[in-house]
Amino acid sequence: MNTRLLFLLLLVAGAQHRAYCQRELRGQVLDAHTDLPLAGASITLVAARQTVTTGTDGRFRLAPAPTDTVLVTYVGYAPQRLPVAALPGEATVRLVPKDGMLTEVLVNTGYQTLPKERATGSFTHIDGKLLDEVVAPTLLEKLEGITNGLQFDRRNMLSEAPADGATGRIRIRGVSTMQSSEEALVILDNFPYEGDLDAINPNDVASITVLRDAAAASIWGARAGNGVIVITTKRGARQAAPQLTMTSNLTIGDRPDLYADRSRLPSATLMEIEADLFANRRYQEFDQTPIPAYAELLIKKRDGLISEADFEAAKARFAQSDIREEALRHLYRPSASQQYAAQVLGGGTNQTYYLSAGYDRNARITIGDRDDRLTLLARHTFQAGRKLEIGTGIRYAGQTIHHDGIPLQALTRLSTYNALTEPDGAPAAVVYDYRLAYQQRAEGLGLLDWQYRPLEERDLVSFAERRGDLQLDGSAVYKPIAGLDITASYQYVQGAYDQNRFADAASYRARNLVNRFTQADGTRIVPEGAIRETPLVSESRAHSGRIVASYARNWAARWELSALGGAEIRQHRETGHPGFTLYGFNPDTYTGTNVLDYATPYNTRPVGTARIPSHFNSIGERTTRFLSYFGNAALAFDRRFTVSASLRWDASNLFGVKTNQKGVPLWSVGGAWQATDAFRFRATYGRSGNVNHGVSVYPTIGYGTGSYTQAPYAYLTSAGNPSLRWETVSTANLGMDFSLLAGRIAGSVEYFSKFASDLIGEDRLDPASGIVSISVPQVTNLVNYASLRTEGADIQLNTRNLSGKLGWQTGWLFSYTRNRVKRFNTAQVLNAESLLTANGIPQPGRPLDALYAFPWNGLDPETGRTLIYHADGSRATDYRQWLRDFPHTALVEAGVTAPPFAGSMRNTLDYAGLQLSATVTFKAGHVFRRTSMLPGGISSFIHTYHSDYLIRWQQPGDERRTVVPSMLPYGAPATANQEDRVFRASEALVTKGDHIRLQDVRLGYTLPRAVSSRIGARSIQAYGYLRNPGLLWRANDQGIDPDFASASYPAPLTTSFGLQIEF
């Protein structure tokens, strides 16, 4: 037969067919359990061999012949076959999850949502259910232990507030920068989020996706180099009945373990040391010098101001008291956090809605510290005609944080034997800014009472921060033809922040200021009375706009193309206003005075001259602007082969003019191959960037107002760099996903290699150039020049060990990273010291996190001094000379401070509505430098103590049991305290960081439906949760929790109870 004729016939038949048989079929695919839309589900017309996929809202549109059959499929769900004739024009298809199949994971890149099975990049997806199971102080902390490749870096946490939400920094897959921010970019509802993550109600979060490789992240361009965390909030669904969820939980935290602080010595020991210091005349008895209470007692005894009996009585009282006992009673309490949230979601034929409110109230561990947060979220979508959908959203978060507490660490002058209360229970006066004897004398000099009583002060001074965030967004999706969506979206975020401080007239804060500025003739420069202060007021405003066209099309049921392209414009502006202070403030009438002479330097007591403290005299305003164009496309064949590519061009006022002109794009390519049903392989390569906000492209000067001249002056801030550009991170990723035994064993193995180049670093110059290290404000000279390679592997394994009445699942996470500095040029002269400091100079060929140390040779058996040797092997005694001669190449690389190995194991058991889960985490392969007693630490100017004093070398033979040198005798040449530097940086104090931690245990119970339905609820769930039960094992023998090695105490155990009811 003539083929051409046949073709013509078919065409006519087809056209005819179309002409009168087709009708439009519209519909939505939902999860049968949750009624949430399923995006990316396939709708195939079996006879016509035509396939479409559902959009993000789960909706689809088809024109089937009435005789055809629709096949609806979605990974992890049982497929459904439905005759077209049986369907209404507007059909809702509810798919039931296949038992024993993992639900399909949808990953959201912030630009698009796609099934993980069709993505080539590396994503970690955390769904709302898993997030809900973890109770943590902050949203980000919830990710710990359940997100592969994400690590909390707590190495530099000094604060005592680990339990109060101090999370440390986050690293995704190791490090990819040196001096710029290591923070991952956070995307909230499709736009970069610059606010405080604490302002997000965790109950509003539908899912979190972490984008780890170039194909995943490069769509975010110049800011994606550290990885991207995409947070998606919940939304309503079309034609879904209203669903109301109410949750409430209470978390109680233990008091802090103050005895974990190794910088404290027992009272009796401390008194011996102070007596010794006193005998050696180490206390300078000036009015302005705080002297410890026991030393004051000794001074009184020396001067005959106290009887022998009184002295002995006071001494005995000191020896028996320990300030930590009192602190636990008077300064700390068990923390209590309450969280309440309610949400309603649903939708009609033309609209969807989501409404939510949350209220949190936290009483922190330090008495006086408390905060609360109110969050509101409303989202609405509305179908305006067939082709246009309008979406709007409003989010509000308001926080108030009170810092009235006085942690023990703030009372730096207090010795262990000090008391916070008098024997009769009244607040005790303690040594604070000046000598106690002087403060006690003040009233006799015609001044106000000058004593500081911490327990009284706490009630008289208040300091609060307030933060309010308002977000408005709108979007319009226009669908002119099938497969093409044009989305225009806009977001506005306004943040306001202020601080308020009030000091009562009776407070030390107010009295101190009055007294300091009381002149010799009794004139009070600062008026007596309360002080009301607003140190800082700031606000931020961000506008973001985006237009994206996305196109998806299937051919012949085998080829699938999806592509998007668009542009984005963004401005973020932060303004800081100078604050104000009202003196002599009347809290009833809210009036005071601020008309004081801030320019004149006055004589102050006890010594010196000073001006009345005033506020900034300039308004700060920082604006960052971005302009970006982007596109990506993925083509899949037969659902087995997928290729993808992306391209993005960024310009910003953070970069130099030359960089913006050059316009080097960031890009990625990737491919995936579904080899068998069980195995899928992925490979990607691409480049993203990282920006540094702290560097200026212009040679800049800053302006201020001179205190001497009261006239404007300018200062140099940057030498300028017109070629400044973003740092570039090139990432290669190889991955394999597997699913065996009908999904009972599933997981992924990934290898990555990141090469970070053009890293910004300080190019140190000869000080004779005028660019000097010790000046304030520092003049910077930063250029793009360094490079770094990070590589590693992420392994994730989920096993369903038992399924049936008793279910048992295990999730394993394991990650490994290592890095090597490839290039780092510095003009700075290298010496041992420059490698030993906390942020030492990176060494090419060595890890960025390397910890260097002096070799340890033990202690001298005769004297207990640290043994050092010259290069030729002879014994050295002059520590200073030895330090100067020590070549940096002879330092020992003692390990890395960031753990190369990390992971977790999470077991979940469920039986008849009961669910028990526990997470065990580990970190391994890293070291840290523990603190210790310094041989010269006590006799030097700032007397520093450490509990290692108790195990120091004291007599020959001790060198066999301790590494802590003996104390330097008083009167030793001052250069001898250079031994401190040798010992502090020696191998002896390098401590293994390996540990295994039981992170949390959770027991949940879902009431039988029969019970819950009795009160009209769809489900009722109650749970109890323990967080930080503690370490199961640690490699170090010193009893130090390596995650909190520099903090005053480890995160206390918290216990939570919660209830969730769905109607």
Partner 1 sequence: MKRIVKKTLRLACAITASFTVTSCAEEFLALKQDRNAAVPSTLADFQAFLDNVSVMNHPSVTRLGYLGADECYVSDASWANAIYEYERQAYLWADDVYVGGAVPDWEFGYKRILHANIVLDGLASLEVTPVERDAYRLARGSALFFRGLTFFELAQLFCAPYPVSGEPSPTALGIPLRLEADVTAKASRATLQETYDRIIADLREAAAVLSTERKIDIRPSKPAAHALLARVYLQMGRYADALRYADSTLSVYSDLVDFNTIDTLRITDNLFDGLRLRHPEVIYMGSALSPHLMGPYSNLRIDTNFRKGYAEDDLRRTVYFKDYVQGMQLFRGSYRPEGNWFTGLAVNELLLIKAESHARLGEAVKALQPLNRLLANRMAVSAFVPLASADAEAIIARVVAERRKELVLRGLRWNDLRRLNQEPRFATTLVRVIDGTRYELPPGSPRYTWPIPEETVRQSGVPQNER
Phi and psi torsions of 514, nearest 5°: -60, -50
Give yes or no for a cis peptide into 777 (omega within 30° of 0).
yes
d(CA 680, CA 804): 28
Could you tell me how many residues of this chain bind partner 1 (CB under 8 A)?
87
| DSSP code string of 864-923 | -PBPEE-TTS-EE--HHHHHHH--GGGSEEEEESS-SEEEEEEEEEEETTEEEEEEEEEE
Contact 834, 826 (CB under 8 A): no
Among the residues of 221-307, which ranges form H helices?
A: 267-279, 293-302
714 binds partner 1 (CB under 8 A): yes
Indicate the SS3 state at residue 637. Answer: strand
- Positions in 524-553 near partner 1 (CB under 8 A): 547, 549
By rule CB under 8 A, what string of x and - marks binding of each residue 840-879 to partner 1? ----------------------------------------
d(CA 722, CA 301): 68
Tell me whether strands 995-1006 and 42-45 are parallel, antiparallel or unpaired: unpaired
Which one of 320, 775, 877, 1013 is in contact with partner 1 (CB under 8 A)? 775
Residues 6+ apart with CB under 8 A from 741: none
Dihedral (Cα; 690, 693, 697, 698), 10-degree rounding: 180
Which one of 14, 242, 767, 887 is in contact with partner 1 (CB under 8 A)? 767
Q: Looking at beta carbons only, is 709 or 874 nearer to partner 1?
A: 709
Phi and psi torsions of 557, nearest 5°: 60, 10
Which one of 768, 961, 1010, 1039 is in contact with partner 1 (CB under 8 A)? 768
- Positions in 368-387 near partner 1 (CB under 8 A): none
Which one of 713, 871, 890, 914 is in contact with partner 1 (CB under 8 A)? 713
d(CA 567, CA 647): 12
| Least distance from partner 1 to the Cβ atom of residue 567, Å | 5
Which of these ranges, 196-204, 277-285, 338-346, 1003-1011, lies near partner 1 under the rule CB under 8 A? 277-285
Contact 724, 787 (CB under 8 A): no
What does DSSP assign to residue 314?
H
- At 992, which amino acid appears? K
What distances in angstroms separate CA 1048 from CA 261, 321, 548, 1040, one per listed residue? Answer: 5, 21, 50, 11
What distances in angstroms separate CA 668 from CA 106, 121, 441, 684, 686, one per listed residue? Answer: 21, 10, 73, 7, 4
Q: Looking at beta carbons only, is 16 or 623 nearer to partner 1?
A: 623
Which of these ranges, 284-292, 334-342, 397-405, 1043-1051, lies near partner 1 under the rule CB under 8 A? 284-292
| Least distance from partner 1 to the Cβ atom of residue 881, Å | 8
Q: Looking at beta carbons only, is 606 or 925 nearer to partner 1?
A: 606
Which one of 518, 544, 652, 796 is in contact with partner 1 (CB under 8 A)? 652
Q: Looking at beta carbons only, is 422 or 621 nearer to partner 1?
A: 621
Which of these ranges, 5-13, 672-680, 709-717, 871-879, lies near partner 1 under the rule CB under 8 A? 709-717
Which of these ranges, 193-201, 285-293, 632-640, 1018-1026, lies near partner 1 under the rule CB under 8 A? 285-293
By rule CB under 8 A, what string of x and - marks binding of each residue 26-45 to partner 1? --------------------
> Residue 244's CB: how many other CB atoms inside 10 A?
15
By rule CB under 8 A, what string of x and - marks binding of each residue 608-647 to partner 1? xx--------xxxxxxxx-x-x------------------
Q: Looking at beta carbons only, is 434 or 497 nearer to partner 1?
A: 434
| Least distance from partner 1 to the Cβ atom of residue 513, Å | 18
| Least distance from partner 1 to the Cβ atom of residue 553, Å | 13
| Least distance from partner 1 to the Cβ atom of residue 809, Å | 47
Contact 452, 432 (CB under 8 A): yes
Which of these ranges, 153-161, 318-326, 718-726, 1049-1057, lies near partner 1 under the rule CB under 8 A? 718-726
Q: Looking at beta carbons only, is 186 or 779 nearer to partner 1?
A: 779
| Least distance from partner 1 to the Cβ atom of residue 600, Å | 7
Q: Looking at beta carbons only, is 15 or 768 nearer to partner 1?
A: 768
Indicate the SS3 state at residue 464. Answer: strand
320 binds partner 1 (CB under 8 A): no
Which of these ranges, 56-64, 460-468, 603-611, 816-824, lies near partner 1 under the rule CB under 8 A? 603-611
**CB crowding 206-220: b at 16 or more within 10 Å, else e:** bbbbbbbbbbbbbbb
Q: Looking at beta carbons only, is 12 or 482 nearer to partner 1?
A: 482
Which of these ranges, 349-357, 652-660, 792-800, 893-901, lies near partner 1 under the rule CB under 8 A? 652-660
Q: 192, 182, 186: which is closest to 225 by C-alpha? A: 182
Tokens in use for 85?
């004739």
| Least distance from partner 1 to the Cβ atom of residue 668, Å | 22
d(CA 468, CA 463): 17
Q: Looking at beta carbons only, is 480 or 1008 nearer to partner 1?
A: 480
Q: Looking at beta carbons only, is 66 or 706 nearer to partner 1?
A: 706
d(CA 58, CA 77): 14
d(CA 592, CA 582): 5
Give the CB-side neighbour count of residue 451, counting CA atoms within 13 A. Answer: 15
Which of these ranges, 601-609, 751-759, 851-859, 919-927, lies near partner 1 under the rule CB under 8 A? 601-609
- Positions in 88-107 near partner 1 (CB under 8 A): none
- Positions in 472-491 near partner 1 (CB under 8 A): 478, 480-481, 484, 486, 488
81 binds partner 1 (CB under 8 A): no
282 binds partner 1 (CB under 8 A): yes
- Positions in 827-846 near partner 1 (CB under 8 A): 827-829, 831, 833
Q: 717, 720, 760, 728: which is closest to 662 by C-alpha? A: 728
- Positions in 880-899 near partner 1 (CB under 8 A): 880, 884
Which one of 156, 593, 773, 825 is in contact with partner 1 (CB under 8 A)? 773
Q: Looking at beta carbons only, is 844 or 973 nearer to partner 1?
A: 973
Q: Looking at beta carbons only, is 781 or 932 nearer to partner 1?
A: 781
Contact 913, 244 (CB under 8 A): no
Tokens in use for 746?
């599933």
- Positions in 436-475 near partner 1 (CB under 8 A): none
SS3 string of 759-808? EEEECCCCHHHCCCCCCCCCCECEEEEEEEEEEEEEEEEEEEEECCCEEE
- Positions in 969-1008 near partner 1 (CB under 8 A): 971, 973-974
By rule CB under 8 A, what string of x and - marks binding of each residue 930-969 to partner 1? ---------xxx----------------------------
- Positions in 679-708 near partner 1 (CB under 8 A): 693, 696, 698-703, 706, 708
61 binds partner 1 (CB under 8 A): no
Q: Looking at beta carbons only, is 502 or 655 nearer to partner 1?
A: 655
Indicate the SS3 state at residue 125. Answer: strand
> Residue 389's CB: how many other CB atoms inside 10 A?
23
Interior CA angle at 33 toward 32 and 34, to 5°? 105
Q: 978, 936, 956, 932: which is closest to 860 by C-alpha? A: 956
By rule CB under 8 A, what string of x and - marks binding of each residue 779-818 to partner 1? x-x-------------------------------------
Phi and psi torsions of 172, nearest 5°: -105, 120
